[in-house]
A and B are shown apart, each in its own frame.
Chain A
Amino acid sequence: MLVALLLVIIFLGIATFLFYLEKRINKAEKKLKELESVKNQENKQ
């Protein structure tokens, strides 16, 4: 029982970290797209 609880807590910690990573990647992807579109517009001008 105790081992199962401990493993669940560890796994939920890992899952939370993965969701956090996912959020950071989403933000970074959006930012990179914005920067690239600005750069493309500058190049066109």
Chain B
Amino acid sequence: MTDMGTWKAHWWKILGVLLIVYIIVGGFLFEVPELPVIRQSIRNIYFHVGMWFGMIFILFVGVVYSLRFLLGGRTLDDTRALSAVQTGLLFGVLGLLTGMLWARFTWGAFWVNDPKLNGAVVGIITYLAYILLRASVDDSHKRARLAAVYNVFAFVLFFVFIMILPRMATSSIHPGVDGNPALATGDLAPQMRLVFYPAMAGWFIMAWWLFSLLFRTRKLRDGISEYEETINTPTHG
């Protein structure tokens, strides 16, 4: 590939890396408002919320590919959906870990019995079940169809667990029960928006990059298996 071709193929990944570096530097060193209780831990918003939104974005991508598989029956769409769910799970776990760290410094414990937190972990478990479901079916076409249908339901369930049920609960100490945390007007100080919006873009790009790497690795592995099968199958005539 030429230098220009390499640049064209990689510019968005380089942008993603630069954005994350900017988020780390800006997130730790730029000024934030001094608020009671939350204090300097507000800086975690660039990581915790960014990873969580990155997860929702890539899980949505997964649902789109599952629907495409159900409509067109192309195996590659199922492989894409699986890669998206795995990437989403990674971002979900990172989001939970950064959230736990934040909880420790603001609420005094890594985990508190809160509808939003419990909903998040149940949502993650719903997606873990997707992986288990795939592992329990041997027939590849049947597995792909079942997984695609389940993935669509899992996405809906996920929103029920993280958005609807916590809003129906009488109390939650997690912010954003009445709206979208950090996105509503007035939620963020103007200087924090200089890091928060690039953070969203950065985590979205990283999620897409990881998803594409996972997909290409799996596609390659399947391609090698197919190739090995063809060379081991004796040809007639």
A7 to B44, CA, bound (A): 13
Give, as a whole number of angstroms, the nearest-CB distance from B86 to chain A. Answer: 15
Asked, given contacts A32-B227, A39-B230, whether A19 binds B13 with beta carbons under 8 Å apart, the answer is yes
A4: chain B residues within 8 A (beta carbon) = 24-25, 27-29
- The secondary structure that dominates the B interface is helix
CB contacts under 8 Å to B, within A1-26, are: 1, 3-4, 7-8, 11-12, 15, 18-19, 21-22, 25-26
How far apart are the CA atoms of A43 and B21 in the complex, in Å?
51
Contact between A12 and B223, CB atoms less than 8 A apart: no
Query: From A33, which residue of chain B is reached at the shortest CB distance?
Result: B223
The smallest C-beta distance from B122 to any residue of chain A, in angstroms, reads: 29
Q: Tell whether A18 pairs with B216 under 8 Å between CB atoms, given A1-B29, A4-B25.
A: no
A35 touches B227 (CB 8 A): yes
CA distance A25 to B221 in the complex (A): 10
* Residues of A participating in the B interface, judged by any CB pair closer than 8 Å: 1, 3-4, 7-8, 11-12, 15, 18-19, 21-22, 25-26, 28-29, 32, 35-36, 39, 43
